[in-house]
Amino acid sequence: MTPFSRRNVLLALLAIAIAAPPFANFYHLFVANLVVIYVLLAIGLNILVGYAGQLAFANAAMFGIGAYATGLLQVQLGWSFWLAFPSGAFIAMAVGLAISLPALRLSGLYLALSTLAFAQATQWVFLHWESVTFGAGGFKTPPLSFAPLPITKPLGLYYLSLALSVGLFMFAQNLVASRVGRALVAVRDGEVAAESLGIDLLRYKALAFGVSGFYAGIAGGLYSALLNFVAPEGFDLFQMVLQKSMIVVGGLGSVAGAVLGAGIIIVLLEALRAFKGLQEIVFGGLLVIFVLFMRGGLVSVIKRHVRGWEEPLRLVQSTAAPAPEVIDTRPSVADR
Amino acid sequence: MLLLSYLVMSGVTTGALYALIALGIVVVNKATGIINFAQGEFFMFSGFVAWMLHVQMGVNYPLTFLLAAVVGFGLGCLTDRIAFRPIAKTDVVSLVLATVGIAFMLKGLARVIWGGKADYLSFPPITSTDPMMIGNVMVIPQQLAVLAGTVAIVVIFTAFFRLTRAGKMMQATADNARAATLVGIRTDRIYTLAFGTGAAIAAAAAVLTAPLTLLYPDIGFAFFVKGFAAAVLGGLMSLPGAVLGGLIVGVVESLAGGYIHSSVMEVSPFVVIMIVLVLRPTGLLSFNKIRRV
Amino acid sequence: MLTPRISGLVATAVLAAVAITPAALAQQPGLTADTIKIGTFGALTGPGYLYGKLVMNGVEVVFDEINAAGGINGRKLQLIREDDRCDAAAAIGAIQKLVHQDQVFALIGGGCSNATFAARDAIEAAKIPTLIFASVHDGITTPPAANIFSTALTSSIESQAQLAFAMQQNAKRIAVISMRDAWGRARYAPLMAAFKANGITPVADEELSPDANDATAQVLRLKAANADAVLMVLYPKPAAVFIRDAQKLGFKPLNVGQTGIADPSAFEEQVGVPGATASFRTISMVKYTPDDPAVDKWRRLVEAKFPGDRLSVFNQFGIGSAQVLVEALKRAGPEPTREKVIDALAGIRDFKTDVYPGPITCSETDHRCHKTPAWLAKDPGGPIRVLAVTPVER
Amino acid sequence: MSATLLSVRDVHITFGGVRVLEGIDLDASRGEIRGLIGPNGAGKTTLLNIICGIHRPQKGDVLLDGISIVGRKPSEIARLGLGRTFQASQMFGGMTVLENLIIGLHRRTSSGLLSAGLKLKRHRREEAEMEEAARRALAFVGMSELAERPATALSFGQQRVVEIARTLIGDPMIVLLDEPAVGLSANRLTELDGLLRRIRDQKGVTLILIEHAIRLVMDICDQVTVLSSGRRIADGTPLAIRNDRGVIEAYLGKDLRARHQAS
């Protein structure tokens, strides 16, 4: 048997996550809640970058849009959190879909810049549309209450985040192992071939952006409730790099990797508090080291050493032996 | 009319700086096909090194310029050795993220080394500080020095690519890496050379503009984003395109600031770029390549 | 692999261990017979390190001095630093960690306005005595939280001072140029309120990016508006760019700076154009520029403790606030409790530090303890002059 | 239902001022194998790219089963029943061989975001059916044992075959093959020959084949079209083409023709 299979390990983590709060202090609960929120972000981003292969830099902006929408619907329109929160997620999804429109025409580095430009424009709007967004100073969100339930806000929010993360983890896992997930990987591995097989590039790129936006939006809503505060600087370059490194450390193109990556990066960020002032160096170095030495992320290392970690989508391990037949290949100039 | 000439003049001088950053980005992209996110940090770091040489150690300006370029070149080569060459065959996402990691490390390092100096470091001007008149537009001589430096750097690098063996090999590698390998070009050396020259351009830009823009560890990213935008406007592959892109970004900013409001200055180039990319997805100066399958 | 869930378990074990330890002062976290743990938070990395790390360095030299002299009632001060990266989430995390994990006795910190503002709820809930050393956001101290005091010049105080100064100098057409970041906004809104309170409107209201390298457009617009005084809500870098371009374009209003540009001689050097700073005046939160002989002692201590650093105004923020906190700890007596320290802070009246321009006065109802900005001027090439120390009161 | 399945009419295209195709006509009937040959640079691949929608001709029309497909997206044309393989390998490296084949069924399946994400019953059934169909297709090309291999671990020749199988599994009416024999050993070439015949005979699929391996073309094609410098210079049975002066000239050059005839 495989006691440390992917399924068992994830279930054990879940069990710990459910059982731990009564034993944890406010600080641990806060960090645990952050982890759970970042799990959502990392899964969403991994679908876009790891699976669909789109080099997009707008995830922090979509996270921000989710947080702002959830917060502002409460503050400006007086909606309850329970209405504002899902609406915020759908707004982020709609924005994700909208920025995917240029993505059909753009690829690679051009797409990277267009999403970077979008992120800059979003920051600008957060900063300057003061009548709505309260500008650079940000705003406090109304305190969240789980009123009829006998549960405090930090604990309630933690369990809400956890439930959503588990649900959306399952959704993502099903999705990537399906017809849709394969189409995304096909778009990543070869756009022309994917099209020749009837896969509509725009549709699937838009889908990846939309799903990613939805996950970021959910995460944003939870984040605004966790902090009770929304301001532009939370959704900046550092945020973007943070999320990117989660999927790199966990493993590009792996849902379980996104979970591991989010957990590790957030815990590491907390642990790095000890490296007074050296955070940037350690963090940057970590990114380089992972890209250099563990390109498949932690998941690929685990896959190599522990049985039972195959992804639902039978993603390839680079170490697999090539087929015996060796063939005379002619270098093709047409193939860049 | 005077307003316009002032705004254009200021846009052009700022744009020249963006153009230099864009040049570095394009040189690296031409050879390797990736965007070096650490380009802005090369600029920052070499600027600090130049400050140390010139202000703290009293090295004269021309020598500082030279030494900073050498340090920049070394920094670029090191980046290639550490974070590009070992993984050159992997996906673009990983490669780009590795340069992001380098950028963070350089930023952190600069903060540790120079951050305790409390504030924004100033670099003494190399030219007279008295404004001078060109027609009826007043300019600071240092701005003209930046412009002249930009022109010189563009000329030097264009000549490098057209005339020297190394330049031609870089060009060939950019056009078709596999074919270049087949004719015996050591492409890994070309990559090193590209990172090195890209960083050297950033260093030259830093020494030229340091007297205008104070030095601080976070100066890199803002310049990088503008430079990246400029490079994309120019089509990512063309040196003249990068210069044109830089000037456009600078002038757009300046005009938007002067005629609309200063609050739209920062965002204006990005709006322009999003429009350009939607209309012309491969930049202004590149003709559509035939998609090969 | 260490996940937070596992670390949660580990922490539980740690907590259990702590609970079992027969600590005589168990009711007072962070306090032992011979130490007092003080937590500090602010940016150690990122652009905000000026208002975080450097201020903490100032705090630390004061603590060292106290410890060298035997501590407070025999207890040595121990400073625990946490990074908030100028980020709301990280600031809340830092507070939670200092309070619940490190279990510090009191807090001194707060660099970036938004981060500290976001963390206010967490600090308030912990009921821990807290002294803010640099953050200026009005929301941190207004309405006052029982346990949070500030020795920073808060936004509204500084904004009023800036406008009042320009009006005293007989400026008739006052304009504003500001940055649109968290600090800039925290300062901007009260500034507009101050304009309104005085029944005037700014003749122009321009924005300059923190990273700007050219301010031609802004200068031309301000010049076109015929402004005779410009209130600058800018960091030194954009401010230097602005002053330089104003000089270039022959625009010479009264330029009114603020605490962000509190060192006129450093600023003159940054601007780099002789004579450009002639009409520049600025507020300082502290009375002395770093090269003033009056702060020689502190310069020596800072530069000895942090080799390579130069004494900065940011260090001085830390020195002043640490002296205030130390005073409150002393007043809390040999058996201090958090409540006693909070009361002691609230009871500080006319306390003189080595760096602040005027005395520090807190009260039960007003926790903005520093209301005396100093006005500095420096004639090009000449010495710095303290023009005035003007108490501001609403 | 007419006998002509694909009809290319008077297609012109220029790139950057260079005329790449000038007035090309090409017809393919149901169930035939049509060869498309010509010297390098004749415009063969460009023609395929026009047919499958990657390029849009400046002039002319392409009809698939009577419907004009010019201006449609490649994916749309694929869904109408046109398959395509490429000169360079276009396997999806991130998936196994079996998954590569399942992708070929994309156009014939319909699960969307929600039914896939929520793993609805209908979706699970569809997935099971797809896997079964993919295994059958692998068996058809005789590569069942490679199903779980990573696609990139296959040899060049094996990748070729899997690509063909991947295209066929979607049940296209017509398949465009761009130099399937490149890089194949002699044994493999024979296998390919057999495979292409079986595809036509058992599945009734129309094939358009670009190939430099003249022996293969002459062996299996029903009709051959010859392009040179962007023009169609001949069209007919392999036998007729073999003896066509224009073709020989285009391939060998005028001075060589004399020698060719002499020999």
Q: Is C110 helix (H, G, I), strand (E, B) or coil?
A: coil
Residue B14 in tokens: 């700022």
Q: Is the pLDDT of residue C40 over 60?
A: yes
Q: Tell me the C-alpha distance between A219 and A213, whole Å.
A: 10
Query: Quick one: pLDDT at residue C49?
Result: 80
Indicate the number of domains in chain D.
Answer: 2
* Stretch (H or E) spanning C297: helix C296-305
Contact present, C and D (at least 3 Cβ pairs less than 8 Å): no
Helix (H, G, I), strand (E, B) or coil at A193: helix
Which pLDDT band holds residue A332 (cuts at 50, 70, 90)?
Answer: very low
Predicted pLDDT of residue D2: 66
Model pLDDT, residue C16: 43
Q: Which pLDDT score is estimated for A20?
A: 85
Helix (H) or strand (E) holding A73: helix A59-77
8 Å CB contact of B117 and C309:
yes
Q: What mean pLDDT is predicted for residues C20-49?
A: 76
The pLDDT-based confidence of A6 (bands split at 50, 70, 90) is confident
Please indicate whether, in this complex, the C-beta atoms of B10 and C45 are within 8 angstroms of each other: no
C-alpha dihedral sign at C133, C138, C140, C143: positive
% of chain D residues with pLDDT over 70: 95
Between residues A203 and B2, the one the model is more confident about: A203
Query: What's the confidence (pLDDT) of residue C57?
Result: 93
* Res C61: pLDDT: 95
Per-residue model confidence (pLDDT) at position B288? 42
- The overall average pLDDT reported for chain A is 84
DSSP calls for B45-72: HHHHHHHIIIIIS---HHHHHHHHHHHH
Closest-CA residue in chain D for B287?
A: D16
Look at residue D61 in the predicted model and tell me its pLDDT: 93
User: By the CB < 8 Å criterion, does C1 face chain A?
Assistant: yes
DSSP structural state of residue A136: G
Which of C46, C94, C182 comes nearest A231 by C-beta? C182
Coil, strand or helix at C347: coil
pLDDT of C330? 93
Share of chain C above pLDDT 90, in %: 48
Q: What is the largest CA-CA distance in chain B?
A: 59
Strand partners, D11: D24
D107 and D232 in a common domain: no
Question: What is the crossing angle of helices A201-227 and A26-45, to 10°?
Answer: 170
Whichever domain contains D30, its CATH number is 3.40.50.300
Per the CB < 8 A criterion, the answer to whether A63 and A244 are in contact is: no
Higher per-residue pLDDT: B34 or C228: C228
* Amino acid letter, A307: R
Does residue B287 surpass a pLDDT of 50? no
For Cα atoms D147, D88, D181, give the angle at the middle one, nearest 5 degrees.
80
**Do residues B229 and A113 make contact, with C-beta atoms less than 8 angstroms apart?**
yes
Q: For residue B254, give the nearest of C50, C217, C313 by CB distance.
A: C217
Contact A335 D87 (CB under 8 A): yes
Give the range of the structural domain holding residue D79, as residue numbers without chain letter.
4-91+170-262
Question: Of C94 and D242, which is predicted with more confidence?
Answer: C94
Residue C1's pLDDT band, with cuts at 50, 70 and 90, is very low
* Residue A233 phi, psi dihedral angles, 5° rounding: -70, -10
pLDDT at D259: 53
| A314 interaction partners in chain D (CB closer than 8 Å) | 95-96, 98-99, 148
Alpha carbon of B183: minimum distance to chain A alpha carbons (Å): 13
Residue D16 vs residues B108, B235, C111, C313, D218: alpha-carbon distances, Å: 48, 17, 59, 63, 35
Residue C140: the pLDDT is 92
The pLDDT of residue D252: 64
- Supply the pLDDT for residue A103: 67
The verdict on residue D160 lying in a domain is: no
Count A/B contacts: CB-CB distance under 8 Å: 144
CB pairs under 8 A between B and C: 115
pLDDT, one tens digit per residue, over C293-303 is 889 999 999 99
Place of tokens 């670029």: B76
Strand-pair partners of C62: none
pLDDT at C39 over 80: yes
Q: Does A276 touch chain B (CB under 8 A)?
A: no
Which of A109, A85, A102 has the alpha carbon at shortest distance from A37? A85
Q: Does the structure show a pLDDT above 60 at A321? A: no
C72-98 average pLDDT score: 91
Q: At what angle do helices B2-32 and C216-224 cross, to 10 degrees?
A: 160
Q: Do C181 and A231 touch (CB under 8 A)?
A: no
| Structure-derived torsion over alpha carbons of residues A294, A298, A304, A310, reported in degrees to the nearest 10 | -130
Q: Residue C322: is its pLDDT beyond 90? A: yes
pLDDT > 80? residue B175: no
In a domain, D159, yes or no: no
Taking CB atoms and an 8 Å limit, are C185 and A273 in contact across chains?
A: no
In this predicted structure, what is the pLDDT of residue A333? 31
CB pairs under 8 A between A and C: 146
Which chains neighbour C (Cβ–Cβ under 8 Å, 3 or more pairs)?
A, B
CA dist B143 and A70 (Å) reads 47
Whole-angstrom distance, CA of residue B203 vs CA of residue B215: 13
Rounded CA-CA distance C275/A216 in Å is: 52
Out of A300-314, A322-336, B236-250, give the one with best mean pLDDT. B236-250
DSSP-derived pairing of the beta strands C174-178 and C205-207: parallel
Q: Is the pLDDT of residue A159 over 90?
A: yes
Per-residue pLDDT at B69: 92
From the list A192, A317, A327, which residue is nearest D156 (CB)?
A: A327
What's the complex ipTM? Answer: 0.85
Residues 9-28 of D with CB under 8 A from A: none
Q: Is the pLDDT of residue A166 over 50?
A: yes
Judge contact between C200 and C194, C-beta under 8 A: no
Nearest to D78 among A180, A195, A326 (CB): A195
What CA–CA distance (Å, rounded) separates A240 from A244?
6
Is pLDDT at A46 greater than 90 in this prediction? Answer: yes
Same domain, D112 and D223: no
Domain assignment present for A310: no
- The CA distance from C151 to C356, in Å, is 9
Neighbours of chain D (3+ CB pairs under 8 A): A, B
CATH of C23-153+294-346, one of 2.40.30.110, 3.50.50.60, 3.40.50.2300, 3.10.250.10: 3.40.50.2300
pLDDT band at A1 (very low <50, low <70, confident <90, very high): low
Q: Which of A105, A285, A333 sits opposite B101 (nearest CB)?
A: A285
Chain C 57-76, CB below 8 Å of chain A: which residues?
A: none
Is residue D73 within 8 angstroms of chain A, CB to CB? yes
- Comparing CB atoms, the residue among B112, B179, B228 nearest residue A113 is B228
Can you tell me the distance from the alpha carbon of A234 to that of C89, in angstroms, rounded to the nearest whole number? 8
Q: Is residue D234 part of a domain?
A: yes
Q: Which secondary structure element, helix H or strand E, spans residue D174, and what is its range? A: strand D174-178
Report which residue type is found at A47.
Answer: I
| Closest C-alpha to D247, from D216, D208, D206, D218 | D218
pLDDT digits (tens, 9 = 90+) for A208-261: 999 999 999 999 999 999 999 998 887 877 788 888 888 888 888 889 899 999
Counting beta carbons within 10 angstroms of the beta carbon of residue C73, is it exposed (0 to 12), middle (13 to 18) or buried (19 or more)? middle
- Two structure tokens written together for B224: 């990088």
CA dihedral A27, A29, A30, A32 (to 10 degrees): 120
What residues of chain B lie within 8 A of the CB of C207, using their CB? 261-263, 265
Domain layout of chain B by residue ranges: 23-219
User: Of the CATH numbers 3.40.50.2300, 3.40.190.10, 3.60.15.10, 3.40.50.2000, which one belongs to the domain with range C156-284+374-389?
Assistant: 3.40.50.2300
In the predicted structure, residue B117 carries a pLDDT above the cut 70? no
Instruction: Please report the pLDDT score of residue A276 as a whole number.
Output: 60
Q: What is the pLDDT of residue A304?
A: 79
> Per-residue pLDDT tens for B130-153?
777 777 777 777 778 888 888 888
Considering its fold, how many domains does chain A have in total? 1
Whether A201 and chain B come into contact, CB under 8 Å, resolves to no
Q: What is the pLDDT of residue D181?
A: 84
Burial of B88 (C-beta count, 10 Å sphere; 0-12/13-18/19+): middle
- The DSSP line for B217-232 is TTHHHHHHHHHHHHHH
How many angstroms separate the CA atoms of D122 and D103, rounded?
Answer: 18
- Boundaries of CATH 3.40.50.2300 in chain C? 23-153+294-346, 156-284+374-389
Read off the pLDDT of residues C187-244 as tens digits, 9 standing for 90 and up.
888 999 999 999 999 999 999 988 888 888 899 899 999 999 999 999 888 898 899 8
Highest mean pLDDT: which range of B218-227, B247-256, D121-130, D242-251: B247-256
pTM value is 0.87
Residue D184 lies in a domain: yes
pLDDT of B169 over the 50 cut: yes
Which amino acid appears at position B103 of this protein?
A: A
Mean pLDDT of D167-196: 86
The packing angle between helices C236-248 and C264-271, to 10°, is 60
Question: What one-character DSSP code corresponds to residue A143?
Answer: P
One-letter amino acid at C80 equals I
> How far apart (Å, rounded) are the C-alpha atoms in residues D137 and D133?
6
Q: What is the pLDDT of residue A67?
A: 96
Write down which residue in D103, D120, D153 finishes a domain. D153
Least confident of A39-48, A155-164, C291-300: C291-300
**pLDDT of C192:** 93
d(C-alpha C31, C-alpha C108), whole Å:
16
Which DSSP state fits D5? E
C384 or D55, greater pLDDT: D55
> How far from the centroid of its chain's Cα atoms is residue A296's Cα?
17
Task: Give the pLDDT confidence of D12-45 residue by residue, as tens digits.
Answer: 998 877 888 998 999 999 989 999 988 888 888 8
Instruction: Give me the sheet containing C35-42, strands edge to edge.
Output: C76-83, C35-42, C106-109, C130-132, C148-150
pLDDT band at residue D188 using 50, 70 and 90 as cut-offs:
confident
Q: Residue D158 falls within a domain, yes or no?
A: no
CA distance B97 to C282: 43
Kindly list the partner chains of chain A, i.e. chains with 3 or more CB atom pairs below 8 Å.
B, C, D
The Cα C207–Cα C233 span in angstroms is 9
